Amino acid sequence: MEILQLLESSPTFLVVATGALGLVVGSFLNVVIHRLPVMMNRAWTSECREHLGEAIPEIGEQARFNLLTPASRCPDCNHRISALENIPVISYLLLKGRCRECGTAISVRYPMVELATALLSVIMALHFGYSVQMLMALGFTWALVPLFLIDFDHQILPDSITLPLLWAGLVLSLFNVFIDAHSSIIGAVAGYLSLWSIFHLFKLVTGKEGMGYGDFKLLAAIGAWVGWQALPVVILFSSVVGAAIGILLILFKGRDHSQPMPFGPFLAAAGWMTLLWGNDIMRLYLQ
């Protein structure tokens, strides 16, 4: 109880505690980002084998691969990463970005995800203060981080994250945490149907699929959190950010303009910004 009182009475302590929690959550999100696509691929393979009547192999730890098991190991030397080697950011700095056993370089992306999650969490704490809104907004943020990176890496948006995010937004609207239920329900429906309509119109005109069904579900989830009124802001943000990043990749990295680019990361970023500043942006526009 004393800690809760301190969180409520001291904005500084709230920010520090939220940042520290964000680092820990970011470390776990690294596991989610790496393992969830593998888990999905294995599930799809098993379903295909079952459908074809083939035997499903059960080989060692391959049969027990989830977010908790097996323990994290170095991909080169199979060294098991201890708890002391898994302290967010600090362990990376102490190890100088290399495996303790074989010296293989550790991707800088791991501490960057941890720091980014902590920073985004701190922004939520500063914006909402000590409140139920802050707690729920942290959950929203922590769901969008893996969606952003998994879609960027693999061009998939896992239903295991997107659908709970959708239902959470709808349930929270019953208590008017961010918006009312009317705005949330219409936001979910309008978010899904808007991209669904664009998808089928684009396919009708070009014969190609311009986006995936995961994008429909993600915008529906975002609509359930921010309401139908804010969907134009989400779409505007995502389009502007997506176009800017696409142009930069073409100019500086020589990316082929015909190469498909996932839309989910831009939707996730736009949804996060809209939850924070969507009302202010709409108010300025109307004025």
β-sheet bridge partners, residue 80:
73
pLDDT of residue 24: 96
Q: Position of tokens 């396919």?
A: 203
pLDDT of residue 231: 94
- Residues 225 and 270 sit within 8 Å (Cβ to Cβ): no
pLDDT of residue 275: 95
- Residues 148 and 140 sit within 8 Å (Cβ to Cβ): no
pLDDT of residue 83: 84
pLDDT of residue 61: 45
pLDDT of residue 1: 64
Residue 24: what residue type? V
Q: Position of tokens 């970005």?
A: 97
Per-residue pLDDT of the chain (287 residues; tens, 9 = 90+): 678 788 888 899 999 999 999 999 999 999 999 999 999 998 888 888 888 877 666 555 456 788 888 888 888 888 888 888 888 999 999 988 888 888 889 899 999 999 999 999 999 999 999 999 999 999 999 999 999 999 999 999 999 999 999 999 999 999 999 999 999 999 999 999 999 998 888 888 887 877 888 999 999 999 999 999 999 999 988 988 888 777 777 777 666 666 678 899 999 999 999 999 988 887 777 77
- Residues 26 and 118 sit within 8 Å (Cβ to Cβ): yes
Q: What is the pLDDT of residues 72-130, one digit of tens each?
A: 888 888 888 888 888 899 999 998 888 888 888 989 999 999 999 999 999 999 999 99
Domain boundaries, the chain: 1-127, 131-287
